[in-house]
A and B are shown apart, each in its own frame.
Chain A
Amino acid sequence: MEGAELIVSSSPHQRTAVSTPVIMSDVVLALMPAALAGVWFFGLRALAMMVLCVAAAVSTEAGLQRLMKRPVTVGDYSAVVAGLLLALVLPPDLPLWMGIIGAVFSMAVAKFIFGGLGQNIFNPALIGRAVLLASWPVFMTRWRWPIFSAPWIPDFDAVSSATPLALLKLGGIRTPYLNLFLGNVAGSIGETSTLAILVGAAYLLYRGHISLRIPVSFIGTVALLTALLGQDPLFHVLAGGLMLGAFFMATDYVTSPVTPKGQIIFGIGCGVLTVFIRLYGGYPEGVCYAILVMNAATALIDRFTMPRKFGEVRKVA
């Protein structure tokens, strides 16, 4: 064509509309039910925690990138996701400034130092949580009963500030399934409501952003192993951070395997470690550390689970 500049590039000349920023913003959207449940159960303080963690994560990433004279990439929403996820796994009464420190640490140390988006070995939000737990263990294990919910435990005052897993581990008290499913129990801001988490997860699955491989192998392993060890599998599936961890933390692209087979192994590993920490470890909950340990194994898992390539068969003579 006369006078027009034609662009020449190597094929393909068509791309999916699903870009990384689209996926990340969809994850934020999918976390909204859990976030709203957190605000419903734990009040506006939970909202303040989320806003501050997101703001801290985004400004840390932008600030460091500006400082290092690199392109500012907060438009990909990955910092928003990390900040929000961190807030959702913090206790509702944690001092807000601690949350900010966690967010700054997760972006600066767990993500930026490793090379930014796509390069980090460990899930930044979980690193943030682990650092806070190590630094302020008292504040990080101080729980609160949700507002608007009637106490159901006889000697309520004594145990009002324990999570269902702690109640079981320390006092042998079982929380009803319905409370666990709806979320009116003590726990981290966004982890208590199985219902809200599943609604968000369903959206991610519908959009094709995550597959069932990691969540199902993770949750399935927890159910199977607890049943084998004489525990109540349904309780262990519904309690604690398993749902949030299995659908939103363990499925983090960057820190989980890329091969389908590897993702299943990763999920099983997360499940085994979670159960062992819950039943035999010092903490009542083990999801966070289970995922972090498996993050460390991701590269190795990928290497040993490469798919058998098409045509890799004995030559037909």
Chain B
Amino acid sequence: MVARSFRGGVHAHYNKEATAAKPIRRMPPPKRVVIPLHQHTGAPCDPLVKVGDEVKVGQKIGDSSAKLTAPVHASVSGKVVEISTRPQSGGRDVLSVVIESDGQEVLDEHIESRKDVDALGPDDLKAIIREAGIVGLGGAAFPSYFKLTPPPGKRFDTVILNGAECEPYLSADHRLMVERPDDVIAGAKLLLKAAGVDRAYIGIEENKPDAIAAIAKAAQGDNRLAVVPLKVKYPQGAEKQLIWAILGREVPSGGLPVDVGVVVNNVGTAAAVKEAVYSGMPLVERVVTVAGSCVARPQNLLVKIGTLVTDLIEACGGYSAPPAKVIIGGPMMGVAQFTTDVPVTKGTSGVLLLSKEEAVFGDPLPCVRCGKCVESCSMRLMPLWIASYAEAGRFDDAERMSALDCIECGCCAFICPSRRRLVQAIRLAKSEVMAKRRRVQAK
């Protein structure tokens, strides 16, 4: 089968060798966890516990009555010692519940495995997915139940599972597909039912032949499921590019995957759905890749949500060298941290400790108009022009050049031989344009 792909993109150094072949290891539960009440796209949760309360694993500790939100759960059993505003990896301070573990790992009494899974209808499944606090585990952390509900007048015909994992360094999804293919496929079947469709594709980059084989084997016998090998190219796992590669459908500008009848979910999300539906376990842990040249033992760890990055690094043998940057997520779209005292959240796919050589670059040179940003733009925009307008403060012109279509994949800045901060300037333009729109709307 010929691997599929999209136009544009870049070939980055993947640097996955350090972790891709190592089995996932469960990190011993930390002594304390910090669980932010806002780990997802949508409204923040209100705390359902107070300082001094005893909590158990899987107990709901935060929820909201808003339409778009995702409840959060205790990932350890123990005592709530603090509810306060703390730094979170996204850069904002977020109200968080601090739990001191009793080391007992006592399960919440509501959690029990389901026998009647086949009897559950789409709405039952969506309700379970919501209650379990499941969000997109690829990094965007969009609440999954919401994504699975098409807006009025629209409907799905295809589910796509995203196993591309095109971000360099990361191998969490890769290991999950190799080690738990049956969970991923069981989750895929549940997502099919929840979305009310009978066609699912699992897109996996070709550099993970073991994952392709494992998933294909697990999917055998169900002709609703098909594995699609994808070319190794960044950003192959970006939603719009993935849909194009697999189905040849173009999500319209300003639109969502549902506009072309598709719902995309990460393979990790599928495994979490399976867990929630079959064993009743909400999303309280996830696989995190810890890598980069400054960590002593790079590996994939199964981590309790709320584990501080400091503890995570400790579990990987600490630092092998002082890092210049600590990044949550991958190197292309991840967020650089100013402290390691931030917790692992539902959207944390990786923690990278990068050296100066890996992650610090010289000052930008003048643009030489090489056109590489134009060629690499996965949305076929003109990054050099949008960035120039943004740098000159001409945000209306940037908007006219389709700045809002930018998916911020970072290919332009990656490929720029003059090290210009293209996507960074475009981000500025996007936020200025959005701010202006809000001002206009408010009037």
Contacts and interface: CB of A to CB of B under 8 A. Distances in A.
A93 interface: no
A14 B413 CA distance: 9
Contacts of A78: 368
A228 interface: no
Interface stretch (B53-61, B264-272, B332-340): B332-340
Query: Most chain-B Cβ atoms within 10 A of its Cβ — which of A7, A15, A78, A253?
Result: A15
A254 B338 contact: no
A297 interface: no
Given A4-B322, A260-B375, A19 B334 contact: no
Interface string B353-392: 0100011110001111111001100111110100000000
A73 B13 CA distance: 29
Contacts of A260: 371, 374-375
A254 B368 contact: yes
A119 B366 contact: yes
A19 B329 CA distance: 25
Contacts of B331: 11-14
B150 interface: no
A11 B382 CA distance: 19
A49 to B, nearest CB: 26
Contact-size category for B: 35 or more
Contacts of B10: 16
B423 A16 contact: no
A6 B251 CA distance: 38
Contacts of A135: none
B251 A259 contact: no
A296 interface: no
A23 B369 CA distance: 13
B342 to A, nearest CB: 11
B380 A307 contact: yes
Interface of B is mostly: loop
B441 interface: no
A13 B366 contact: no
Interface string B160-197: 00000000100000000000000000000000000000
Contacts of A313: 250, 252-253
A16 B372 CA distance: 11
Contacts of A12: 331-333, 410, 413-414, 423
Contacts of B379: 309-311
A117 B335 contact: no
B397 interface: no
A253 B374 CA distance: 13
Contact of B323 (A4, A22, A116): A4
B417 A11 contact: no
B12 interface: yes
Contact of B340 (A1, A119, A308): A1
Interface in A127-170: none
Nearest to B324: A7
B250 A11 contact: no
Given A13-B331, A19-B418, A117-B368, A6 B259 contact: no
Nearest to B253: A311
B363 to A, nearest CB: 10
Contact of B325 (A6, A16, A19, A20): A6
Interface in B411-437: 413-419, 421, 423-424, 427
A14 B368 contact: no
B130 interface: no
B381 A309 contact: yes
A258 interface: yes
A263 interface: yes
Interface string B238-272: 00100010000011111100011000000000000
A13 B354 contact: yes
A13 B424 contact: no
B13 A254 contact: no
Contact of A309 (B405, B423, B427): B405
Q: Which 6 A-B pairs have CB atoms at the shortest separation, nearest pair first?
A: A258-B371, A12-B410, A311-B253, A118-B366, A14-B331, A307-B380
Given A13-B358, A259-B374, 5 more contacts: A1-B313, A15-B414, A117-B366, A307-B382, A310-B250
28 contacts: A1-B319, A7-B325, A11-B329, A11-B335, A12-B413, A12-B414, A13-B325, A13-B334, A14-B332, A14-B414, A16-B414, A19-B365, A19-B417, A19-B419, A118-B368, A119-B366, A258-B371, A258-B382, A307-B374, A309-B380, A310-B244, A310-B250, A311-B379, A312-B253, A313-B250, A315-B252, A315-B259, A316-B259
